[in-house]
Structure formats: structure tokens, C-alpha cells
Amino acid sequence: MPIYHKLGKIPPKRHIQFRKADGGLYYEQLFGTIGFDGMSSLLYQIHRPTMVREILSETDVAPKIAVAKSIKARLLKGFEIIPQDDFLQSRTSLLVNNDIHIGLAAPKQSLRSYFYKNVDADELLFVHRGKGTLRTQLGNIPFEYGDYLLIPRGMIYQIDFEREDNRLLYAESFHPIYTPKRYRNWFGQLLEHSPFCERDYKLPQDLETFDEKGDFVIKIKKQGVLYAMLYPTHPFDVVGWDGYNFPYGFSIHNFEPITGRVHQPPPVHQTFETKAFVVCSFCPRLYDYHPQSIPAPYNHSNIDSDEMLYYVDGDFMSRNNIEKGHITLHPAGIPHGPAPGAYERSIGQTKTEELAVMIDTFRPLSITEAALKIDDGKYYQSWLE
């Protein structure tokens, strides 16, 4: 994310001696992406971040593919995902390709007995139900219903929930996730036409620094394998940091929709981008105000992308029989559009209160075994009159 932030204490220049009160050195770590070309932060730690005591276990957690190729539109009943105590075990991959794994999670307990990091993918969590605090080595971020939490790859984190009823949509992206380029000037600042600005970000705060030795388990996901590794010092030993590569939050409620006299195309709802997919936020907004406008979306062909919609809240104007937590998948190659009757009944409507998250991928998505278990099996026929 192209915005500078810092917490804690740091030396006046990069790569110089930074000493503790007893005269010893703090250990500097460059936390960066894309070699030395992407966004990075400089961390200053009490202990060497390189020390590993033991590799305890290896577990294959790669998604189990049931349907590798398909042209069938699907409806997945997301709230049928059964809640589980453990944060990682509750995560259920549903739609996947080599660029992204999309899934749902219903964790009942906080992640506090171990630490976690995903070294392959940026993680984007959307909080449908729940409230708590994302705790990371670079500071804490309070979150609530409607928040996106963007966690860069390699970030060590835990997560606290205030209750047991939690529902998350998540995306693991194997490409860095950025704000859309067209919203930014060539300095990286968000422009006036952007539907959000830097003030809307929830930046890390309350940097927790632990100078502790002992046995600390970090579970690390790499290439579809979850490794449990034992470290001799507390992972949250950062005394200060600065830079551009850090976790942050953004509330869907702070997305300001772009509207017009006639129906606007989906890109006006774009919130995040990668070179392999985009994420859009459909939020409460006024409908089109041309006297002969049709607020419902026009039929459109998905020629180059698979479209996934996750329904969060409100009245989903363009669909019939859609409930909170449902996921629809409209695959590339065939057109889709409003459900029968939605086109006509939208005429004369002035606003919508819907909330939904859309992910459009530029390569086809495969269907996991877990997804088939919550597939209604008949959604592809829902446009028949």
C-alpha cells in the first residue's frame, strides 16, 4: 500500500548501529516483497529473527479439487460451513486457481496458542460477523463487522475474537494486493475521484514488544503445506519499524459508491486489485437518475473472467432467493444477468441497501470438495422463465 507509516522507536538513518540501553545491538530486518523492488518496511528487533529451534510437523493443507473445469453457474450456501474452534482449521477453501484461494471461515475461538504466517500469499479477510483485534508483529488493528483486513505475505499474526459467532470471507492471493492504480496519482496518493482515501484506512497501532525467551510455535504455510516451527524467542519483539509494507484495515462502510444517470459498470465498485483478479464492494447507494434508467444491471458476458459474489447484507436487487452468506459463481464463457423479474421490478426504484463483495478472477476457478457439499445444484437454471 503506497502510504508511509511508523511505530515505536527507530534510528535516524537506515542500516546504521541502533543500540539497546545495555549497549547491545537491535537486529534490523528488511520486510519486503518482489525482491528489493516492491513495498518494504524496516523492522528493529530485540532478538535475531533467524533462530529456529525445531521443525515440529508438516501437514498437507492443499485444497482438494473436485471439479477442475466447469461452465456451470453455482450457488454455495456459505453459512452451512460448520464453525470450528481453531482459526486455521475453520478455514475452508471453496474456489481456487493458481492465483487465488477463496474460502470461508467460522472460527469460534481466538488464535492465541500459536502464531501464524502465510509466506506464499497476501491474505484479505472480510469480517461478515465478529469483532476483535488483529495482533501482528507490526502492531494491532481493531476490527468489526464490514472490515477488510489486508495481511501481507510473511506477516506473523494472531487474532482475538470477542465472541464465538464469527464469519469470515477470505482470499489468499499469490500476487501482491494493491489499491487500484487508476485511483492513484504517480506519487501513489489516492486521487479526488477515488471512492475512499487514506483517512479511511485502519493502520496498525499499539505496538506490542515482548522480550521473552521460551518455546514459541509459529505455523507457517508454504506451497500447500503447514509447518509447525519452534522458535526460542517471542515473535513480537519489534521495538520499532517504518515503511510501506504492513497490515491495514478498511471498512466496506467507508466505500463511497460512484453513481450516474445510467447504470454504472462493475469497475466503479473496485476496492483492491492484483494482476490476476479484482475485488469490488457493492454498497448502499442511490440508483441511476436518468428518467428512463433501469437500475438493475444489464446482462453481460463473462468472456475473460469468473465472477464470484459474496452476499453480506440487505436486499440483493438483481437476484431472487439470495440470503446472507450465499456465494454465487458466474463462470467465464457464458452471459449472466438479473434474475427473471428483477430487471422489470427495478424500474422506479431509487436506492439499494445491499452489501456484497465481488471477486473477478482472470483465470478460471476450480471447485473444491468442500464447495460441492454446500452447492445448491440448481442455480444455473435460475434464469429460466
What's the CATH number where 304 sits? 2.60.120.10
Dump pLDDT digits (tens) for 272-296: 999 999 999 999 999 999 999 999 9
What is the domain range of residue 114?
A: 28-64+82-252
DSSP, collapsed to helix, strand or coil, labels residue 222 as strand
Whether residues 243 and 332 share a domain: the answer is no
Whether residues 54 and 90 share a domain: the answer is yes
Whether residues 137 and 38 share a domain: the answer is yes
Tell whether 2 is covered by a domain: no
List all residues 6 or more positions away from 196 whose beta carbon is below 8 Å from its beta carbon. 190, 250, 254, 255, 256, 271
Neighbours of 84 (CB within 10 A): 16
Whether residues 260 and 216 share a domain: the answer is no
Dump pLDDT digits (tens) for 179-199: 999 999 999 999 999 999 999
Q: How many domains does the chain have?
A: 2
Give, rounded to a whole angstrom, the gap between the first and last alpha carbons of the chain. 46
Tell whether 76 is covered by a domain: no
Dump pLDDT digits (tens) for 59-85: 999 999 999 999 999 999 999 999 999
| Tens place of pLDDT per residue across the chain (385 aa) | 679 999 999 999 999 999 999 999 999 999 998 888 889 999 999 999 999 999 999 999 999 999 999 999 999 999 999 999 999 999 999 999 999 999 999 999 999 999 999 999 999 999 999 999 999 999 999 999 999 999 999 999 999 999 999 999 999 999 999 999 999 999 999 999 999 999 999 999 999 999 999 999 999 999 999 999 999 999 999 999 999 999 999 999 999 999 999 999 989 999 999 999 999 999 999 999 999 999 998 999 888 999 999 999 998 877 888 999 999 999 999 999 999 998 999 999 999 999 999 999 999 999 999 999 999 999 999 999 8
Tell whether 325 is covered by a domain: yes
Whether residues 120 and 239 share a domain: the answer is yes
Tell whether 286 is covered by a domain: yes
Tell whether 9 is covered by a domain: no
Closest listed residue to residue 143, CA positions, set 84, 202, 96: 202
